[in-house]
A = this chain, B = another copy of it.
Amino acid sequence: MTIADIARRSGLSPATVSKVLNGRPDVSARTRLVVQEALVGAGYRRRGSLEAPPLIDVVFNDFDSPWAIELVRGAAAAAQAEGLTVAFTALSEGDERRIWFDHITSRGTRGIMLLLSKLTERQRGELAARGLPFVVIDPTAEPGPEVSSVGATNWSGGLAATKHLVELGHRRIGVITGPPELLCSRARLDGYRSALETAGLAFDDDLVLSGDFRMKAGYDQAQVLFGRRRRPTAIFAGNDLSALGVLRAARDAGLRVPDDLSVVGFDDIPLAEWSTPSLTTVRQPLIEMAAVAVRILLDSSGSDESLGRRVELATDLVVRESTAPPG
Protein backbone atom coordinates (compact mmCIF):
# COMPACT_ATOMS: atom_id res chain seq x y z
CA MET A 1 0.00 0.00 0.00
CA THR A 2 1.96 2.97 -1.24
CA ILE A 3 1.23 6.59 -1.86
CA ALA A 4 0.96 5.80 -5.54
CA ASP A 5 -1.88 3.37 -4.86
CA ILE A 6 -3.79 5.99 -2.98
CA ALA A 7 -3.17 8.43 -5.78
CA ARG A 8 -4.65 5.99 -8.30
CA ARG A 9 -7.65 5.28 -6.10
CA SER A 10 -8.46 8.93 -5.75
CA GLY A 11 -7.53 9.94 -9.26
CA LEU A 12 -4.79 12.31 -8.15
CA SER A 13 -1.04 12.42 -8.27
CA PRO A 14 1.29 10.95 -5.67
CA ALA A 15 2.58 14.45 -5.08
CA THR A 16 -0.81 15.66 -3.98
CA VAL A 17 -1.34 12.74 -1.67
CA SER A 18 2.00 13.43 -0.08
CA LYS A 19 1.02 17.01 0.45
CA VAL A 20 -2.15 16.02 2.23
CA LEU A 21 -0.23 13.64 4.44
CA ASN A 22 2.11 16.42 5.41
CA GLY A 23 -0.42 19.11 5.91
CA ARG A 24 0.83 21.33 3.11
CA PRO A 25 -1.24 24.37 2.39
CA ASP A 26 -1.42 24.13 -1.40
CA VAL A 27 -4.23 21.60 -1.54
CA SER A 28 -7.87 22.56 -1.83
CA ALA A 29 -10.22 21.55 0.93
CA ARG A 30 -12.16 19.27 -1.40
CA THR A 31 -9.12 17.45 -2.64
CA ARG A 32 -7.85 17.06 0.87
CA LEU A 33 -11.08 15.40 1.85
CA VAL A 34 -11.03 13.03 -1.10
CA VAL A 35 -7.51 11.94 -0.27
CA GLN A 36 -8.24 11.51 3.40
CA GLU A 37 -11.14 9.25 2.57
CA ALA A 38 -9.03 7.19 0.25
CA LEU A 39 -6.36 6.96 2.94
CA VAL A 40 -8.78 5.71 5.52
CA GLY A 41 -10.52 3.44 3.03
CA ALA A 42 -7.32 1.75 2.00
CA GLY A 43 -5.91 1.67 5.51
CA TYR A 44 -2.75 3.37 4.48
CA ARG A 45 0.30 3.38 6.70
CA ARG A 46 3.67 4.89 6.06
CA ARG A 47 6.15 2.23 5.24
CA GLY A 48 9.00 2.26 7.71
CA SER A 49 7.24 3.53 10.76
CA LEU A 50 10.61 4.83 11.84
CA GLU A 51 10.13 7.99 9.88
CA ALA A 52 8.02 9.46 12.58
CA PRO A 53 10.05 12.30 13.97
CA PRO A 54 11.44 11.54 17.40
CA LEU A 55 9.57 14.36 19.04
CA ILE A 56 6.88 14.64 21.63
CA ASP A 57 5.18 17.99 21.84
CA VAL A 58 4.11 19.53 25.10
CA VAL A 59 1.71 22.42 24.77
CA PHE A 60 0.53 24.65 27.57
CA ASN A 61 -0.96 27.98 28.35
CA ASP A 62 1.55 30.44 29.52
CA PHE A 63 1.07 29.84 33.21
CA ASP A 64 4.66 29.79 34.10
CA SER A 65 4.18 27.56 37.04
CA PRO A 66 6.48 25.08 38.69
CA TRP A 67 3.66 22.66 38.18
CA ALA A 68 4.11 22.76 34.43
CA ILE A 69 7.85 22.61 34.82
CA GLU A 70 7.67 19.42 36.78
CA LEU A 71 5.48 17.87 34.15
CA VAL A 72 7.79 18.95 31.38
CA ARG A 73 10.72 17.52 33.26
CA GLY A 74 8.92 14.26 33.74
CA ALA A 75 8.01 14.15 30.10
CA ALA A 76 11.56 14.88 29.07
CA ALA A 77 12.90 12.10 31.25
CA ALA A 78 10.38 9.58 30.00
CA ALA A 79 10.90 10.64 26.42
CA GLN A 80 14.64 10.44 26.70
CA ALA A 81 14.38 6.89 27.90
CA GLU A 82 12.64 6.11 24.62
CA GLY A 83 15.12 8.02 22.55
CA LEU A 84 12.74 10.91 22.00
CA THR A 85 13.04 14.62 22.58
CA VAL A 86 10.47 16.93 24.08
CA ALA A 87 9.57 20.00 22.10
CA PHE A 88 7.57 22.57 23.86
CA THR A 89 5.16 25.27 22.94
CA ALA A 90 3.90 27.91 25.31
CA LEU A 91 0.64 29.47 24.24
CA SER A 92 0.48 33.10 25.10
CA GLU A 93 -2.83 34.69 25.80
CA GLY A 94 -4.08 35.91 22.47
CA ASP A 95 -2.52 33.20 20.35
CA GLU A 96 -4.49 32.07 17.42
CA ARG A 97 -4.77 28.37 18.02
CA ARG A 98 -4.20 27.50 14.38
CA ILE A 99 -0.67 28.80 14.47
CA TRP A 100 0.89 26.38 16.87
CA PHE A 101 -1.23 23.56 15.60
CA ASP A 102 -0.25 23.99 11.99
CA HIS A 103 3.30 24.41 13.05
CA ILE A 104 3.43 21.20 14.98
CA THR A 105 1.58 19.12 12.48
CA SER A 106 3.55 20.33 9.52
CA ARG A 107 6.82 19.65 11.26
CA GLY A 108 5.57 16.33 12.47
CA THR A 109 5.38 14.85 15.92
CA ARG A 110 4.99 11.57 17.65
CA GLY A 111 2.22 12.80 19.85
CA ILE A 112 0.91 15.85 21.61
CA MET A 113 0.61 16.33 25.33
CA LEU A 114 -1.69 19.13 26.36
CA LEU A 115 -1.45 20.71 29.78
CA LEU A 116 -4.72 22.25 30.87
CA SER A 117 -5.50 22.98 27.25
CA LYS A 118 -8.15 22.00 24.86
CA LEU A 119 -8.36 21.08 21.22
CA THR A 120 -11.04 22.21 18.87
CA GLU A 121 -13.22 19.61 17.27
CA ARG A 122 -11.55 20.27 13.95
CA GLN A 123 -8.11 19.76 15.37
CA ARG A 124 -9.15 16.50 16.97
CA GLY A 125 -10.35 15.32 13.60
CA GLU A 126 -7.19 16.32 11.85
CA LEU A 127 -5.05 14.52 14.37
CA ALA A 128 -7.19 11.42 14.09
CA ALA A 129 -6.89 11.45 10.30
CA ARG A 130 -3.14 11.57 10.56
CA GLY A 131 -3.00 8.97 13.29
CA LEU A 132 -1.38 11.37 15.75
CA PRO A 133 -2.22 10.60 19.34
CA PHE A 134 -2.70 13.19 22.03
CA VAL A 135 -3.29 13.17 25.72
CA VAL A 136 -4.60 15.83 28.06
CA ILE A 137 -3.24 16.41 31.53
CA ASP A 138 -5.81 17.85 33.89
CA PRO A 139 -8.46 18.46 31.25
CA THR A 140 -10.53 21.59 31.42
CA ALA A 141 -13.97 20.15 30.92
CA GLU A 142 -15.12 16.58 30.94
CA PRO A 143 -13.36 15.25 27.86
CA GLY A 144 -15.15 12.84 25.56
CA PRO A 145 -14.69 9.13 26.04
CA GLU A 146 -12.32 8.86 23.12
CA VAL A 147 -9.89 11.35 24.62
CA SER A 148 -7.05 10.05 26.74
CA SER A 149 -6.25 12.01 29.81
CA VAL A 150 -4.07 11.83 32.87
CA GLY A 151 -4.74 13.42 36.20
CA ALA A 152 -4.49 12.86 39.89
CA THR A 153 -7.10 11.93 42.43
CA ASN A 154 -8.02 15.53 43.02
CA TRP A 155 -11.16 14.79 44.92
CA SER A 156 -9.38 12.51 47.37
CA GLY A 157 -6.66 15.09 47.68
CA GLY A 158 -9.09 17.83 48.58
CA LEU A 159 -10.72 15.47 51.02
CA ALA A 160 -7.46 14.52 52.68
CA ALA A 161 -6.29 18.11 53.00
CA THR A 162 -9.52 19.22 54.59
CA LYS A 163 -9.77 16.19 56.81
CA HIS A 164 -6.29 16.92 58.08
CA LEU A 165 -7.34 20.45 59.02
CA VAL A 166 -10.55 19.27 60.62
CA GLU A 167 -8.72 16.71 62.68
CA LEU A 168 -6.38 19.41 63.93
CA GLY A 169 -9.48 21.11 65.27
CA HIS A 170 -10.18 23.76 62.67
CA ARG A 171 -13.79 24.72 62.20
CA ARG A 172 -13.61 27.67 59.87
CA ILE A 173 -11.56 26.66 56.84
CA GLY A 174 -11.20 29.01 53.92
CA VAL A 175 -10.66 27.82 50.37
CA ILE A 176 -8.98 29.55 47.46
CA THR A 177 -9.69 27.43 44.43
CA GLY A 178 -8.07 27.35 41.03
CA PRO A 179 -9.90 28.53 37.92
CA PRO A 180 -13.45 27.22 38.31
CA GLU A 181 -13.60 25.96 34.74
CA LEU A 182 -10.91 23.42 35.44
CA LEU A 183 -12.03 19.96 36.34
CA CYS A 184 -9.29 19.59 38.90
CA SER A 185 -10.30 22.78 40.72
CA ARG A 186 -13.84 21.60 41.05
CA ALA A 187 -12.84 18.14 42.18
CA ARG A 188 -10.63 19.55 44.90
CA LEU A 189 -13.40 21.81 46.09
CA ASP A 190 -15.85 18.93 46.16
CA GLY A 191 -13.38 16.96 48.25
CA TYR A 192 -13.29 19.88 50.67
CA ARG A 193 -17.06 20.03 50.78
CA SER A 194 -17.32 16.34 51.34
CA ALA A 195 -14.85 16.40 54.22
CA LEU A 196 -16.81 19.16 55.90
CA GLU A 197 -19.98 17.18 55.53
CA THR A 198 -18.45 14.08 57.01
CA ALA A 199 -17.29 16.14 59.96
CA GLY A 200 -20.71 17.66 60.35
CA LEU A 201 -19.51 21.16 59.59
CA ALA A 202 -21.55 23.63 57.60
CA PHE A 203 -20.40 24.72 54.17
CA ASP A 204 -20.06 28.49 54.15
CA ASP A 205 -20.05 30.25 50.80
CA ASP A 206 -18.26 33.21 52.29
CA LEU A 207 -15.19 31.09 52.85
CA VAL A 208 -14.85 29.95 49.26
CA LEU A 209 -13.02 32.21 46.85
CA SER A 210 -11.65 31.43 43.45
CA GLY A 211 -8.18 32.21 42.18
CA ASP A 212 -6.12 31.36 39.17
CA PHE A 213 -3.34 29.21 40.59
CA ARG A 214 -0.92 32.11 40.83
CA MET A 215 0.74 33.67 43.83
CA LYS A 216 -0.93 37.01 43.42
CA ALA A 217 -4.37 35.45 43.49
CA GLY A 218 -3.45 33.60 46.67
CA TYR A 219 -2.20 36.79 48.20
CA ASP A 220 -5.22 38.87 47.24
CA GLN A 221 -7.85 36.34 48.15
CA ALA A 222 -6.17 35.59 51.46
CA GLN A 223 -6.50 39.26 52.32
CA VAL A 224 -10.18 39.05 51.51
CA LEU A 225 -10.54 36.06 53.81
CA PHE A 226 -8.68 37.86 56.58
CA GLY A 227 -11.28 40.60 56.33
CA ARG A 228 -14.22 38.29 56.93
CA ARG A 229 -16.14 38.84 60.15
CA ARG A 230 -14.92 35.64 61.68
CA ARG A 231 -11.52 35.06 60.17
CA PRO A 232 -10.89 31.44 59.12
CA THR A 233 -8.24 29.67 61.15
CA ALA A 234 -7.05 27.66 58.19
CA ILE A 235 -6.87 28.05 54.42
CA PHE A 236 -6.81 25.33 51.82
CA ALA A 237 -5.23 26.78 48.68
CA GLY A 238 -5.88 25.35 45.24
CA ASN A 239 -2.22 24.84 44.59
CA ASP A 240 1.15 25.46 46.17
CA LEU A 241 1.77 28.66 44.32
CA SER A 242 -1.32 30.32 45.71
CA ALA A 243 -0.51 28.80 49.10
CA LEU A 244 2.77 30.68 48.99
CA GLY A 245 0.79 33.81 48.24
CA VAL A 246 -1.29 33.08 51.30
CA LEU A 247 1.83 32.69 53.44
CA ARG A 248 2.98 36.04 52.24
CA ALA A 249 -0.34 37.67 52.94
CA ALA A 250 -0.35 36.16 56.43
CA ARG A 251 3.03 37.62 57.15
CA ASP A 252 1.99 41.04 55.88
CA ALA A 253 -1.11 40.88 58.05
CA GLY A 254 0.97 40.01 61.09
CA LEU A 255 -0.41 36.50 61.36
CA ARG A 256 1.97 33.73 62.34
CA VAL A 257 1.80 30.46 60.44
CA PRO A 258 0.94 27.93 61.75
CA ASP A 259 0.10 29.48 65.13
CA ASP A 260 -2.53 31.93 63.94
CA LEU A 261 -3.29 30.36 60.59
CA SER A 262 -2.81 26.94 59.04
CA VAL A 263 -2.18 26.65 55.32
CA VAL A 264 -2.42 23.64 53.04
CA GLY A 265 -1.38 23.66 49.40
CA PHE A 266 -1.69 21.27 46.52
CA ASP A 267 0.95 19.83 44.16
CA ASP A 268 4.06 19.53 46.30
CA ILE A 269 6.32 21.47 44.03
CA PRO A 270 9.99 21.37 45.05
CA LEU A 271 9.66 24.77 46.63
CA ALA A 272 7.04 23.64 49.11
CA GLU A 273 9.70 21.98 51.17
CA TRP A 274 11.79 25.13 51.29
CA SER A 275 9.29 27.85 51.90
CA THR A 276 9.16 29.48 55.32
CA PRO A 277 7.44 27.80 56.96
CA SER A 278 7.57 24.67 54.84
CA LEU A 279 4.25 23.84 53.34
CA THR A 280 1.83 21.09 54.22
CA THR A 281 0.47 20.04 50.88
CA VAL A 282 -1.17 17.35 48.81
CA ARG A 283 1.42 15.73 46.66
CA GLN A 284 0.66 15.01 43.04
CA PRO A 285 3.12 12.64 41.41
CA LEU A 286 3.78 15.01 38.56
CA ILE A 287 6.82 13.25 37.21
CA GLU A 288 4.98 9.96 37.11
CA MET A 289 1.93 11.58 35.56
CA ALA A 290 4.04 12.86 32.73
CA ALA A 291 5.64 9.47 32.30
CA VAL A 292 2.24 7.85 32.07
CA ALA A 293 1.16 10.41 29.52
CA VAL A 294 4.18 9.67 27.38
CA ARG A 295 3.48 5.98 27.63
CA ILE A 296 -0.09 6.52 26.50
CA LEU A 297 1.10 8.51 23.53
CA LEU A 298 3.56 5.88 22.44
CA ASP A 299 1.19 3.00 23.02
CA SER A 300 -1.65 4.51 21.09
CA SER A 301 0.71 5.60 18.37
CA GLY A 302 0.62 2.21 16.74
CA SER A 303 -2.85 0.92 17.39
CA ASP A 304 -5.96 2.27 15.78
CA GLU A 305 -8.34 1.90 18.67
CA SER A 306 -9.75 5.31 19.26
CA LEU A 307 -10.85 4.55 22.77
CA GLY A 308 -9.32 6.96 25.21
CA ARG A 309 -7.79 6.04 28.46
CA ARG A 310 -8.31 7.91 31.69
CA VAL A 311 -5.64 7.49 34.32
CA GLU A 312 -5.69 8.99 37.77
CA LEU A 313 -2.66 8.67 39.96
CA ALA A 314 -2.92 8.75 43.68
CA THR A 315 -2.30 11.88 45.70
CA ASP A 316 -0.66 11.94 49.05
CA LEU A 317 -0.90 14.30 51.99
CA VAL A 318 2.50 15.62 53.04
CA VAL A 319 2.41 17.23 56.46
CA ARG A 320 5.03 19.88 57.11
CA GLU A 321 5.17 23.01 59.22
CA SER A 322 2.36 25.15 57.93
CA THR A 323 -0.42 23.35 59.75
CA ALA A 324 -1.14 23.07 63.47
CA PRO A 325 -4.13 23.12 65.79
CA PRO A 326 -5.86 26.51 65.88
CA GLY A 327 -4.38 28.88 68.44
Which A residues lie at the B interface, using CB under 8 A?
A: 53-55, 57, 64, 66, 69, 72-73, 76-77, 80, 83, 85-90, 92, 100, 103-104, 107, 215, 244-245, 247-248, 251, 270-271, 274-277
Contact = CB atoms under 8 A, between A and B. Distances in A.
B103 A54 contact: yes
Contacts of A247: 276
Contacts of A76: 88-90
A247 B247 CA distance: 15
Given A76-B89, A77-B90, A83-B103, 8 more contacts: A55-B55, A55-B87, A77-B92, A85-B88, A85-B104, A248-B274, A251-B276, A271-B271
Chain multiplicity (copies): 2
Contacts of A89: 76, 80, 85
Contacts of A85: 57, 87-89, 103-104, 107
Contacts of A92: 77
A18 to B, nearest CB: 14
Contacts of A66: 66
A57 B270 CA distance: 25
Max chain B CB contacts within 10 Å: which of A53, A64, A88, A245?
A: A88
Nearest to A244: B274
B274 A107 contact: no
A87 B86 contact: yes
A22 to B, nearest CB: 12
A276 B88 CA distance: 32
Given A85-B87, A89-B85, A107 B276 contact: no
A215 B272 CA distance: 12
Nearest to A109: B85
Contact of A90 (B73, B88, B103): B73
A253 B53 CA distance: 53
Contacts of A245: 274
A227 to B, nearest CB: 20
A104 B76 CA distance: 14
A119 B67 CA distance: 31
Contacts of A57: 85
A70 to B, nearest CB: 8
Contact of A107 (B54, B77, B100, B248): B54
A43 to B, nearest CB: 28
A15 to B, nearest CB: 15
Contacts of A73: 64, 90
A260 B52 CA distance: 60
A122 to B, nearest CB: 21
A248 B271 contact: no
A73 B65 CA distance: 11
Contacts of A83: 103
Contacts of A54: 103, 107
A81 to B, nearest CB: 10
Contacts of A274: 215, 244-245, 248
